[in-house]
């Protein structure tokens, strides 16, 4: 417990909370490539997106020039229920590792959804309410996003229909019950409630579903029912915008104590947490005001940055969604049943993909058993039981801190602890029982799905 001038937890006051989201794209010279209409191969317009997404969210999705977008007061009031979130100095972890590094983590798990997802869920629900909609539809796999959206819809009195991948619906009944407690209707997907669901059930009786299928059902319900729109918890520019509250608070807390990080680390599935955490730091880097090492951490079982290709691809397995230019393993890539459900996505945010492509950030992949070793060590010394997704960032932070131990460097490491693992205890049990494995795709697996990427006209 060396450096006691910094408290364990740096809490901000409500007045310190950001009043505007930071739109990273405004500071990018190479803007993220636009979403394309899969039919025409041309950039999607606001008009084309309006039947699917809420109006103001479409505007946010397409706006790559406005640096700050005001957070409406209603959203800031909701944020106050669980924000500002603490920036924690990991004194006990540092001591356990015997490292001269100074480690901080921004903890986003202190809310019932258990993760950072609530930051964007409440924003999306707000704009749906403002537009006078009746409700929203979405899909959920691991359940964090569905839970967050249920909470947000309950707050604004919106109907919320969640299509939950059938295997998760059955294996994670507790997640389902949290959503129901918040008033959401949770439908196991594929279901008889949609045309696409019926079709899939007819073709594949007994299927336990997939995220791609759940997306298709949620989109169908949103577009066929007047007063409904579809919402999504990651990948999109609008989601990264909302998640910038994570980074803005982190920066304010660090500035309060005059701390300048050397390394910033976040786990990356679709990119919502990482994009939010790094936003203001990446902004400084883009504007040439400061330099930071920024590291995306992904599972070795689903390595879109480290082993994927930078190309246009479908965002969903069902190939009904717009095309996005991103690092991708191919939309037909089926990741192994890794326990970090939130990181099992074949692609990556277009914004982060462009930044990675342009050399502004690094990426690394880590193996599942090493991730759970880090998770267990962290839980035992820091108290918090981390989500498997978040534990990818813990693993990378520990590895960087151990390098500092070798070199004697006193680097400052900041990582994002996106959530808690209370609903992931089947995974912990596998680890505790020594039954966890690493499932790494072969080069052939990846090459096969990348070979199936859609052909699009050169931009």
The residues that touch a copy of itself, with contacts defined as CB under 8 A, are 1, 7-9, 11, 13-14, 77, 80-82, 92, 110-112, 114, 151, 154-155, 173-174, 177-178, 180-183, 376, 379-385, 420, 422-423, 425, 428-429, 431-432
Report the 10 Å Cβ neighbour count for 3: 10
> C-beta of 207: minimal distance to a copy of itself in Å?
25
> C-beta of 392: minimal distance to a copy of itself in Å?
17
Cα–Cα distance, 420 to 391 (Å, whole number): 10
Cα–Cα distance, 163 to 214 (Å, whole number): 5
Collapsing DSSP states into helix, strand and coil, what is residue 377?
A: helix
- Give the nearer residue to a copy of itself in terms of CB position, either 91 or 312: 91
Collapsing DSSP states into helix, strand and coil, what is residue 146?
A: helix
- Give the nearer residue to a copy of itself in terms of CB position, either 98 or 359: 98
Residues 6 or more apart whose CB falls under 8 angstroms from that of 306 comprise 298, 363, 364, 365
Please say whether the beta carbons of 301 and 445 come within 8 A.
no
- Give the nearer residue to a copy of itself in terms of CB position, either 83 or 166: 83
Residue whose entry in the numeric block shows the structure tokens 């809490």: 11
**DSSP structure class, residue 270:** S
Cα–Cα distance, 88 to 383 (Å, whole number): 12
- Give the nearer residue to a copy of itself in terms of CB position, either 173 or 226: 173
CA angle 266, 30, 415 (to 5 degrees): 10
> C-beta of 253: minimal distance to a copy of itself in Å?
13
> C-beta of 36: minimal distance to a copy of itself in Å?
38
Q: Phi and psi at residue 176, in whole multiples of 5°?
A: -60, -45
- Give the nearer residue to a copy of itself in terms of CB position, either 17 or 334: 17
- Give the nearer residue to a copy of itself in terms of CB position, either 23 or 147: 147
**DSSP structure class, residue 397:** H
> C-beta of 421: minimal distance to a copy of itself in Å?
9
> C-beta of 81: minimal distance to a copy of itself in Å?
5
> C-beta of 450: minimal distance to a copy of itself in Å?
37
- Give the nearer residue to a copy of itself in terms of CB position, either 127 or 378: 378
- Give the nearer residue to a copy of itself in terms of CB position, either 420 or 449: 420
Antiparallel, parallel or unpaired: β 102-107 and 87-89:
antiparallel
- Give the nearer residue to a copy of itself in terms of CB position, either 48 or 376: 376
Measured CA distances, 85 to 3, 233, 380 (Å): 22, 19, 21
> C-beta of 102: minimal distance to a copy of itself in Å?
17
DSSP H/E element including 69: strand 68-70
**DSSP structure class, residue 311:** E
Long-range contacts of 205-212 (CB under 8 A, 24+ apart): 207/166, 208/165, 208/166, 208/167, 208/170, 209/165, 209/166, 209/167, 210/165, 210/317, 211/139, 211/141, 211/165, 211/316, 211/317, 211/344, 211/345, 212/316, 212/317, 212/318, 212/319, 212/331
> C-beta of 72: minimal distance to a copy of itself in Å?
14
> C-beta of 195: minimal distance to a copy of itself in Å?
29
Cα–Cα distance, 108 to 116 (Å, whole number): 5
> C-beta of 44: minimal distance to a copy of itself in Å?
34
- Give the nearer residue to a copy of itself in terms of CB position, either 111 or 353: 111
Q: Which two tokens stand for residue 118?
A: 């609530």
Q: List the helix and strand counts (H, then E) for the chain.
A: 18, 15
- Give the nearer residue to a copy of itself in terms of CB position, either 54 or 184: 184
> C-beta of 112: minimal distance to a copy of itself in Å?
4
Burial string for 69-104 (b: 16+ CB within 10 Å, else e) reads: bebeebbbebbeebbbbbbbbbbbbbebbebebbbb
**DSSP structure class, residue 322:** P
- Give the nearer residue to a copy of itself in terms of CB position, either 132 or 173: 173
Write down the H helix ranges in 415-455: 425-432, 443-450
């Amino acid at each position: 417990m060396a450096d006691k001038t910094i408290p364990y937890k740096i809490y901000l006051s409500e007045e310190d909370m950001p009043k505007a989201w930071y739109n990273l794209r405004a500071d990018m010279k190479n803007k993220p490539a636009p979403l394309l209409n899969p039919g025409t191969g041309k950039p999607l317009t606001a008009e084309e997106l309006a039947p699917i997404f809420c109006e103001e969210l479409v505007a946010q999705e397409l706006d790559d020039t406005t640096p700050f977008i005001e957070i409406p007061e209603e959203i800031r009031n909701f944020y106050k229920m669980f924000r500002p979130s603490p920036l924690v100095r990991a004194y006990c972890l540092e001591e356990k590792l015997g490292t001269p590094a100074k480690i901080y983590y921004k903890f986003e798990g202190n809310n019932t959804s258990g993760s950072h997802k609530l930051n964007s869920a409440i924003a999306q629900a707000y704009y749906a309410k403002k537009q006078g909609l009746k409700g929203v539809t979405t899909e959920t796999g691991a359940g964090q996003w569905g839970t967050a959206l249920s909470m947000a819809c309950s707050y604004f009195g919106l109907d919320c229909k969640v299509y939950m991948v059938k295997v998760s619906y059955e294996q994670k009944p507790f997640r389902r019950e949290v959503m129901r407690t918040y008033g959401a209707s949770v439908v196991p997907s594929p279901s008889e409630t949609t045309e696409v669901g019926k079709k899939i059930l007819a073709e594949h009786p007994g299927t336990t579903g997939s995220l791609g299928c759940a997306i298709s059902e949620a989109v169908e319900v949103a577009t066929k029912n007047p007063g409904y729109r579809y919402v999504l918890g990651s990948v999109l520019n609008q989601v990264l915008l909302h998640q910038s509250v994570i980074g803005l608070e982190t920066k304010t807390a660090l500035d309060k104590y005059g701390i300048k990080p050397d390394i910033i680390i976040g786990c990356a599935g679709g990119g919502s947490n990482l994009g939010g955490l790094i936003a203001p730091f990446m902004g400084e880097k883009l504007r040439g005001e400061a330099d930071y090492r920024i590291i995306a951490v992904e599972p070795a079982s689903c390595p879109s940055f480290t082993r994927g290709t930078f190309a246009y691809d479908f965002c969903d397995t069902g190939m009904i969604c717009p095309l996005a230019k991103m690092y991708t393993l191919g939309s037909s890539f089926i990741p192994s049943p890794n326990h970090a459900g939130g990181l099992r996505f074949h692609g990556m945010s277009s914004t982060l993909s462009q930044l990675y492509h342009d050399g502004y950030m690094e990426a690394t992949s880590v193996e599942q058993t090493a991730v759970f070793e880090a998770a267990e060590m962290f839980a035992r010394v820091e108290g918090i039981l981390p989500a498997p997704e978040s534990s990818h960032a813990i693993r990378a932070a520990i590895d960087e801190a151990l390098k500092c131990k070798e070199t004697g460097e006193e680097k400052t490491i900041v990582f994002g602890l996106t959530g808690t693992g209370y609903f992931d205890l089947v995974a912990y049990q596998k680890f505790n029982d020594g039954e966890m494995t690493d499932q790494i795709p072969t080069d052939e697996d990846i090459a096969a799905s990348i070979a199936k990427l859609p052909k699009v006209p050169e931009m």
